A and B are shown apart, each in its own frame.
Chain A
Amino acid sequence: MSIDINGIRKSFRRRGHAPQEVLRGVDLTINTGEFVSFIGHSGCGKSTLLNIVGGLVKADSGTVRIDGQPVSGPGPDRAMVFQNYSLLPWLSLRQNVRVAVQESRPDWKRARVDEMVERYLTAVSLWEHRNKRPGQVSGGMAQRAAVARAFAVAPRTLLLDEPFGALDALTRSRLQQQLVDLWDSESETETVLMVTHGLDEAILLADRIVVMANLPHPSVRTTIDVPIPRPRSRTTIMHHPVYDGIQKQLVDLLIADNDAELAEAAAA
């Protein structure tokens, strides 16, 4: 399912500050089956854009169409994974997944619900911990449960908002692998949008990287294709001939941005 993002604008106003336009006319088409990463400095609006696609935030103007249908609110066809796990603390991991599936897929039979819960909790190797509550497991396990929850509702699009940002490097790389495995194997999930702060993560996972920026640049500064064949491995990907070029391009864009910001701050 293709996602058409058309002329999206969004401002935030804070008390005592001039309104800040974080999304300044974003146009983007994401094809079915694509894995797209969004990268940029804090405040560039990448999470806001993701939330608009997810239906959690309303744009000031512009439209998001999914297979031609305008987005009017959240829905299980666009399951989300948030940075801080967002599990309900009083429910076990299994109940967390199960309740989400039951609620978002009311037409599914009980057997189907049970099957999906078990399949994805097993896929993220949490089935034996299914009866623990979020407070009783590590952050990595909690985030795996959140990933399982998102996949278990069989979304065609997955929206990930810095999903691994709060995890240590080892856990993060394991989860990145699990995410890709789930995405291109059995699941019904075709398209993935992921907001990230990690350059390496973006290159490792994405087919295309959308670089976003603060003023004075346009919101979407550029998009970079990552023509590295899959399956990719974190150890060998950097030997691919295009890897260095992409990374250098990203660093230049993001660091140059940062320098401009610092100069502006110094002048003010």
Chain B
Amino acid sequence: MTPRDATPSAVAPAVEDSSPSQMSTAPRAGAGTAAPETSTTDIESQAPAPTMGVEAGGQRGRATADWLPALGSRLIGVSVTTFWALVGLAVFVALWQLATRNSATVPGPLDSARTLGDLLSRPFFHTTNDKGIGLHLYISLRRVFMGFGLAALVGITLGLAMGAARPVWSALNPLVQVLRPVSPLAWFPIWLYIIQEPSQSAIVVIFITTLWPTLINTAAGAVAIPRDQRNVALVFKFRPLAYLWHVLIPNALPSIITGLRLSMGIGWMVIVAVEMLQGNSGVGYFVWNSYNALELDKVVAAIVLIGVVGLVLDTVLLRLARWVTPEEVHG
């Protein structure tokens, strides 16, 4: 058999007119996957549920009875999404009212709204043994920001180091995995004993609380450097600063922000609990103190405010996340 006979007939014409033959088309199979940058752009998929409340505007108007929300929203002059939000709120308040109508101590929505109005009418008053709710919120926020800021500094630095250097990862990972599931409140007695000052102890507890999500997310972002980019850094002899600045940080940035967002959310939750234990100021103290005085309407008002502040914090960080997420890279 001659070699030409061995050539599959499908290839033979390509050989004769010397257009790119069968071989030359093979590498194109990978062409669509060539974008070097798919792993870092999906921050939304890494970020879990908390965004739901902020951006649930996606699915509207699927139901057959479109005219009802359309009419309703037209009547009160808001969008269909807002209309449904108002419907949800109204149902919730109605159920609340129904459940508390016979209770003398558990406040209904009207009592709570009145108390909230009272509290907000003089948020920053300050007497020897009483403070306005605004001051308490300010104190709590300050503690959270201090602990969170410190945790961001330490968590991002350590996380980048863990992602960049295998030994650092191996050294820190077991420690992180053991300490991470511990309730941050368990640390409080130790810090209170060492520091002897409740306010600073609270900040340290927030620091520990907010450290883990930032650290873990930063490290996860920093290890997932696309091979192409690592090769480029190797071939062109990137020095540490250039590697940090042009490869490591840009790749890790979306997950860093995700970590910060989770941290902030948890920090804001935990501060309330810490202040209940620590007991001299802050919104958690306010809640506990109101309970002791059997003023549950104040507790409910505080819960509303805590929720609103938490939502604002999350929205700010979500905006930040959108802003730093790199645009889609195509080949």
User: Hey, which bits of chain A sit against chain B, CB under 8 A?
Assistant: 39, 42, 54-56, 73-76, 78-80, 82-91, 99-100, 102-104, 106, 134-135, 139, 142, 149, 153, 162, 165-166, 169, 197-201, 238, 247-248, 251-252, 254-256, 259
Pair B326/A166 contact, Cβ less than 8 Å: no
Q: Which of B8, B21, B239, B330 contacts A135 (CB 8 A)?
A: B330
Pair A134/B329 contact, Cβ less than 8 Å: yes
Chain B residues lying within 8 Å of A82, measured Cβ to Cβ, are 228, 231-232
Known contacts being A103-B237, A104-B236, A198-B20, is A89 close to B242, with CB within 8 Å? Answer: no
Pair A254/B23 contact, Cβ less than 8 Å: yes
Pair A100/B232 contact, Cβ less than 8 Å: yes
Pair B326/A86 contact, Cβ less than 8 Å: no
Chain A residues lying within 8 Å of B6, measured Cβ to Cβ, are 252, 255-256, 259
Chain A residues lying within 8 Å of B27, measured Cβ to Cβ, are 83, 162, 165-166, 197
Known contacts being A83-B34, A88-B232, is A199 close to B237, with CB within 8 Å? Answer: no
Chain B residues lying within 8 Å of A134, measured Cβ to Cβ, are 329
Number of A-B contacts (CB under 8 A): 136
Chain A residues lying within 8 Å of B237, measured Cβ to Cβ, are 74-76, 103-104
Give B1-32 interface residues, CB cut-off 8 Å to A.
3, 6-8, 11, 15, 18-21, 23-28, 30-31
Q: Which of A79, A80, A247 contacts B15 (CB 8 A)?
A: A247
Give B236-282 interface residues, CB cut-off 8 Å to A.
236-239, 242, 246-247, 250
Known contacts being A100-B232, A135-B330, is A89 close to B23, with CB within 8 Å? Answer: no
Q: How far is the CA of A75 from the CA of B236 in the complex (A)?
A: 6
Known contacts being A99-B242, A103-B237, A103-B239, is A85 close to B15, with CB within 8 Å? Answer: no
Pair B331/A169 contact, Cβ less than 8 Å: no
Pair B231/A56 contact, Cβ less than 8 Å: yes
Pair B3/A256 contact, Cβ less than 8 Å: yes
Besides A78-B235, A255-B8, 7 other A-B contacts (C-beta < 8 A): A79-B236, A84-B34, A88-B250, A103-B242, A197-B25, A198-B23, A248-B3
Q: How far is the CA of A255 from the CA of B7 in the complex (A)?
A: 7
Pair A200/B18 contact, Cβ less than 8 Å: yes
Q: How far is the CA of A23 from the CA of B61 in the complex (A)?
A: 62
Q: How far is the CA of A252 from the CA of B239 in the complex (A)?
A: 47
Chain A residues lying within 8 Å of B329, measured Cβ to Cβ, are 89, 134-135
CB<8 Å pairs between A and B, sample of 13? A42-B26, A75-B237, A80-B231, A83-B34, A84-B35, A88-B250, A89-B37, A90-B250, A99-B246, A135-B37, A165-B30, A200-B20, A247-B15
Pair B7/A251 contact, Cβ less than 8 Å: yes
Q: How far is the CA of A115 from the CA of B239 in the complex (A)?
A: 22
Pair B36/A86 contact, Cβ less than 8 Å: yes
Task: Let me know if B327 is at the binding interface, CB within 8 A.
Answer: yes
Q: Which of A102, A139, A200, A247 contacts B331 (CB 8 A)?
A: A139
Q: How far is the CA of A248 from the CA of B329 in the complex (A)?
A: 41
Q: Which of A78, A79, A80, A89 contacts B326 (CB 8 A)?
A: A89
Task: Let me know if B229 is at the binding interface, CB within 8 A.
Answer: yes
Pair A197/B26 contact, Cβ less than 8 Å: yes
Task: Let me know if B130 is at the binding interface, CB within 8 A.
Answer: no
Q: How far is the CA of A86 from the CA of B15 in the complex (A)?
A: 33
Q: Which of B18, B20, B246 contacts A91 (CB 8 A)?
A: B246
List the B residue with the shortest CB-CB distance to A164: B27
Chain A residues lying within 8 Å of B228, measured Cβ to Cβ, are 82, 84-86
Q: Which of A76, A88, A102, A166 contacts B31 (CB 8 A)?
A: A166
Chain A residues lying within 8 Å of B28, measured Cβ to Cβ, are 165-166
* Residue of B23, B239, B331 ringed by the most chain A CB atoms within 10 A: B23
Q: Report the minimal beta-carbon distance from A113 to chain B, rounded to whole angstroms.
A: 13
Q: Report the minimal beta-carbon distance from B229 to chain A, rounded to whole angstroms.
A: 6
Q: How far is the CA of A90 from the CA of B246 in the complex (A)?
A: 8
Chain B residues lying within 8 Å of A80, measured Cβ to Cβ, are 231, 235
Q: How far is the CA of A214 from the CA of B20 in the complex (A)?
A: 23
Pair B232/A86 contact, Cβ less than 8 Å: yes
Pair A251/B36 contact, Cβ less than 8 Å: no
Task: Let me know if B55 is at the binding interface, CB within 8 A.
Answer: no
List the A residue with the shortest CB-CB distance to B330: A135
Task: Let me know if B309 is at the binding interface, CB within 8 A.
Answer: no
Task: Let me know if B86 is at the binding interface, CB within 8 A.
Answer: no
Chain B residues lying within 8 Å of A162, measured Cβ to Cβ, are 27
* Residue of B21, B24, B35 ringed by the most chain A CB atoms within 10 A: B24
Q: Report the minimal beta-carbon distance from A141 to chain B, rounded to whole angstroms.
A: 11
Chain B residues lying within 8 Å of A166, measured Cβ to Cβ, are 27-28, 30-31, 34, 331
